[in-house]
């Protein structure tokens, strides 16, 4: 084989290798996030009117959640307990208990909990890489679509967005910490 042919083959091979790397960015990723076991997240939630809430939330299992609001001061101390039959909210001495089916579908905490549980219920999900390098999952609830973002190294959830509602939350997983709960969770 002549040097010219070898040179051309090497050029073609390098062209194929280097051009295929850019297509990997939008490829479907086969890895799956692990939703088994309890998980706690610190969160910062930004609503469409630029209202910002902060706090922590724990996923105790499918359909079982706890949320504590720590900011702003006007909502600090609000605790929400969410399970498959009811929602309990308390702030100081004020307490509210409501059947889950009577809860407004647009309640922001319900959207967040249901979106994560919806993704966890899937037997197989397709993740793609976003511009910032995180892996994203696009899902749909009856109320709206959502996007979950996962850290590409740890596969831990680090963000959720509801584009149609202009609502987003950044999440910081606290894998070894589960906050004390006030509702009973049965196994």
Please name each of the domains of the chain with its CATH number. 34-174 (2.50.20.10)
pTM, entire model: 0.77
Using alpha carbons, select from 147, 183, 151, 187 the residue that is nearest to residue 165: 147
pLDDT, position 81: 96
pLDDT, position 53: 95
- Number of helices (H), then strands (E), in the chain: 2, 12
pLDDT at residue 166 greater than cutoff 90: yes
- R_g of the chain, CA atoms, integer Å: 22
pLDDT at residue 132 greater than cutoff 80: yes
CB 43 within 8 A of CB 69: no
pLDDT, position 23: 42
pLDDT, position 1: 58
Rounded to whole angstroms, the Cα distance separating 110 from 160 reads 13
What's the residue count for the chain?
Answer: 187
> Predicted confidence band at 162 (pLDDT cuts at 50, 70, 90)?
very high
pLDDT digits (tens, 9 = 90+) for 81-95: 999 899 999 999 999
pLDDT, position 30: 52
């Amino acid at each position: 084989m002549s040097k010219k042919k070898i040179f051309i083959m090497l050029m073609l091979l390098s062209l194929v290798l280097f051009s295929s790397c850019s297509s990997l960015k939008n490829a479907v990723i086969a890895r799956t996030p692990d939703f088994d076991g309890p998980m706690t997240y610190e969160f910062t939630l930004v609503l469409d009117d630029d209202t910002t809430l902060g706090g922590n939330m724990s996923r105790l299992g499918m359909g079982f959640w706890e949320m504590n609001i720590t900011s702003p001061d006007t909502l600090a101390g609000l605790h929400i307990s969410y399970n498959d039959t009811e929602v309990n909210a308390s702030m100081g001495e004020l307490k509210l208990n409501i059947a889950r089916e009577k809860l407004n579908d647009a309640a922001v905490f319900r959207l967040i909990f249901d979106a994560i549980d919806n993704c966890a219920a899937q037997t197989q999900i397709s993740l793609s890489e976003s511009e910032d390098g995180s892996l994203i999952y696009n899902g749909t609830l009856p109320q709206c679509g959502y996007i979950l973002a996962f850290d590409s190294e740890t596969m831990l959830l680090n963000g959720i967005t509801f584009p149609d509602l202009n609502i987003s939350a950044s999440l910081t997983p606290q894998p070894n910490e589960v906050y004390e709960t006030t509702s009973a969770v049965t196994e």
